[in-house]
């Protein structure tokens, strides 16, 4: 019955958002990691602004993107006798 909303519950109230589901910036980066830089660049360009990031934001973005890079599998090189 979960697909009919039988167990749905309202989200807790938050300032500004009300009952709308909140998603933090790190969650957005993880969910849209392939498109977020393109989206930001396009909209800043449309608004006639330049994007200025401080070092804290860049290091945090780099860390998040590194966490989700495809991992390379190590090949076992033991010799069977």
How many domains, the chain?
1
Write out the residue range of the structural domain in which residue 56 sits: 25-68
Residue 52 forms part of a structural domain: yes
Per-residue confidence (pLDDT) for residue 59, from 0 to 100: 46
pTM over 0.95: no
pLDDT category of residue 57 using cuts at 50, 70 and 90: very low
Residue 5 forms part of a structural domain: no
Q: Give the residue, 67 or 48, on which the prediction is more confident.
A: 48
Residue 51 forms part of a structural domain: yes
What distance in Å separates the CA atoms of residue 55 and residue 38, rounded to the nearest whole number? Answer: 19
User: pLDDT tens, 62-79?
Assistant: 455 555 555 666 666 666
* Share of residues in the chain with pLDDT > 70 (%): 54
CB neighbour list of residue 30: distance below 8 Å, 6 or more residues apart: 64, 68
How far from each other are the two terminal CA atoms of the chain, in whole angstroms?
56
Residue 81 forms part of a structural domain: no
How far is CA 71 from its chain centroid? 18
Residue 29 forms part of a structural domain: yes
What distance in Å separates the CA atoms of residue 28 and residue 7, rounded to the nearest whole number? Answer: 26
pLDDT at 55 over 60: no
Q: Which residues pair with 18 in a beta bridge?
A: 14
């Amino acid at each position: 019955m979960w697909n009919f909303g039988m167990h749905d519950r309202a989200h807790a109230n938050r300032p500004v958002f009300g009952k709308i589901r909140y998603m933090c910036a790190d969650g957005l980066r993880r969910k849209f990691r392939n498109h977020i830089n393109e989206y930001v660049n396009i909209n800043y360009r449309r608004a006639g602004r330049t994007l200025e990031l401080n070092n804290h934001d860049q290091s945090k973005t780099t860390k998040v993107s590194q966490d989700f890079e495809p991992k390379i599998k190590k090949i076992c090189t033991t010799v069977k006798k």
